[in-house]
């Protein structure tokens, strides 16, 4: 509700409820289209690809490309890909369904004194909606937890930007703590190792290689200072150590390249097809940069990459699911939240 000519949201005067306020947690994820049709995907991609943290190219060069080419064609292709992974029970993208389950699991774990909500950087429910829901529940202190284990300005920073953009409109602001990425946090690495072991124990083969695939990033962003590949390397090193796997059996790769520029290398797809051509028959693939299974994992890895590997001569391909809403993931999110909440406690 806006207050006349004031740029700030109008709050009727009220006493905080409960009287000394409370701490809430906002889980933040990337976001996803609300449907697989052209217009839903276009709306999502339009918001995503208009973010200057994501596309740094000067707007007067990028806008004509985005509106003239990308948004005219890509929604058809992406929409068809989303249709392959769509959760028809909930009529929603897996990213939405699983993020909601993560928030519900965290709420249960933290108990009724700590409201939990969730918001997407692009699409709905938005970060603003998530924050408003916590404010309406009397939260005067909020932990914002972007669910990106490895820092990148294109993900972590833009999630935090959006939180503070919402705060800019508030007359009564809550205190905020943003949770740092957790690339080599022992609880995160332990959860990943457990999911690898659980997956492998169900296989009828022993993978000769573990391919650890992360979402890519334009190389120029890294040259300009984005620490993302360093953080990915930390995760791989810690995971190999806990799994007690020799480094040569664990390969760090980058997927999901977008546009013609050079992205971080080695790329996942050519690496995996080369493995098959070199006679490596059995592999497993994990994507620890994603806390939640989504189009990039379910379609690009478990579907497209699997087919490419088998077509190139591979025999067995195992995809290790993301941590999703497993008890290990909820324990990790609860641990990160509690640690941040300590910094917000009143004396």
Percentage helix, strand, coil for the chain under 3-state DSSP, each rounded to 5: 45, 15, 35
Instruction: Give the x/- contact pattern for ligand L6N33NVT in 209-248, rule: CB under 6 A.
Output: ------x-x----------x--------------------
> Which range, of 252-260, 265-273, 308-316, 339-347, touches Fe ion by CB under 5 A?
252-260
Residue 30 near ligand L6N33NVT by CB under 6 A: yes
Task: With CA atoms as reference, report the closest residue to 108 among 25, 20, 16.
Answer: 25
Task: With CA atoms as reference, report the closest residue to 306 among 332, 337, 335, 283.
Answer: 283
Instruction: Give the x/- contact pattern for ligand L6N33NVT in 67-106, rule: CB under 6 A.
Output: -------x---x--------------x-x-----------
- Determine which residue in the list 99, 114, 154, 160 makes contact with ligand L6N33NVT, applying CB under 6 A: 154
Q: CA 84, 89, 94 angle in degrees (round to 5)?
A: 50
**CA within 13 Å, CB half, 312:** 22
Nearest-angstrom CA–CA distance, 102 and 105: 5
Judged by beta carbon distances under 5 to 8 A according to partner kind, the member of Fe ion, ligand L6N33NVT, none in contact with residue 95 is ligand L6N33NVT
Task: With CA atoms as reference, report the closest residue to 189 among 286, 54, 111.
Answer: 286
- 3-class DSSP state of 305: helix
Nearest-angstrom CA–CA distance, 103 and 146: 12
Instruction: Give the x/- contact pattern for ligand L6N33NVT in 282-321, rule: CB under 6 A.
Output: -------xx---xxx-------------------------
Residue 258 near ligand L6N33NVT by CB under 6 A: yes
Taking the complex as a whole, the smallest distance from the CB of residue 243 to ligand L6N33NVT amounts, in Å, to 22
215 assigned ligand-binding residue: yes
Residue 40 near ligand L6N33NVT by CB under 6 A: no
- 3-class DSSP state of 226: coil
Residue numbers of the site for Fe ion (CB under 5 A)?
Answer: 256, 296, 300
């Amino acid at each position: 509700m806006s207050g006349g000519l004031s740029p700030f949201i109008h709050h009727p005067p009220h006493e905080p409820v409960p009287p000394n306020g409370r701490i809430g947690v906002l889980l933040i994820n990337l976001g996803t289209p609300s449907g697989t049709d052209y217009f839903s995907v276009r709306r999502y991609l339009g918001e995503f690809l208009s973010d200057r943290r994501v596309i740094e190219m000067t707007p007067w060069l990028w806008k004509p490309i985005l509106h003239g080419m990308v948004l005219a064609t890509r929604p058809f292709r992406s929409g068809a890909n989303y249709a392959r992974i769509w959760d028809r029970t909930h009529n929603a993208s897996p990213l939405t369904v699983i993020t909601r389950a993560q928030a519900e699991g965290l709420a249960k774990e933290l108990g009724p004194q700590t409201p939990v909500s969730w918001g997407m950087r692009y699409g709905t429910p938005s970060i603003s909606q998530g924050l408003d829901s916590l404010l309406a529940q009397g939260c005067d202190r909020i932990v914002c937890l972007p669910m990106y284990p490895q820092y990148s300005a294109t993900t972590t920073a833009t999630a935090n930007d959006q939180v503070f953009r919402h705060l800019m409109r508030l007359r009564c602001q809550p205190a905020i703590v943003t949770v740092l990425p957790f690339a080599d946090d022992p609880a995160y690495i332990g959860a990943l190792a457990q999911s690898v072991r659980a997956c492998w124990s169900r296989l009828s083969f022993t993978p000769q290689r573990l391919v650890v695939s992360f979402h890519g990033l334009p190389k120029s962003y890294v040259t300009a200072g984005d620490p993302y590949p360093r953080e990915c390397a930390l995760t791989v090193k810690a995971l190999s150590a806990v799994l007690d796997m020799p480094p040569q059996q664990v390969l760090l790769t980058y997927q999901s390249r977008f546009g013609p520029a050079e992205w971080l290398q080695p790329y996942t797809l050519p690496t995996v097809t080369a493995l098959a051509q070199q006679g490596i028959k059995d592999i497993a693939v994990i994507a620890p940069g994603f806390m939640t299974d989504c189009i990039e994992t379910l379609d690009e890895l478990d579907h497209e990459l699997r087919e490419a590997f088998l077509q190139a001569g591979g025999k067995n391909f195992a995809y290790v699911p993301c941590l999703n809403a497993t008890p290990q993931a909820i324990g990790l999110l609860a641990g990160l939240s509690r640690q941040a909440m300590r910094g917000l406690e009143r004396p």
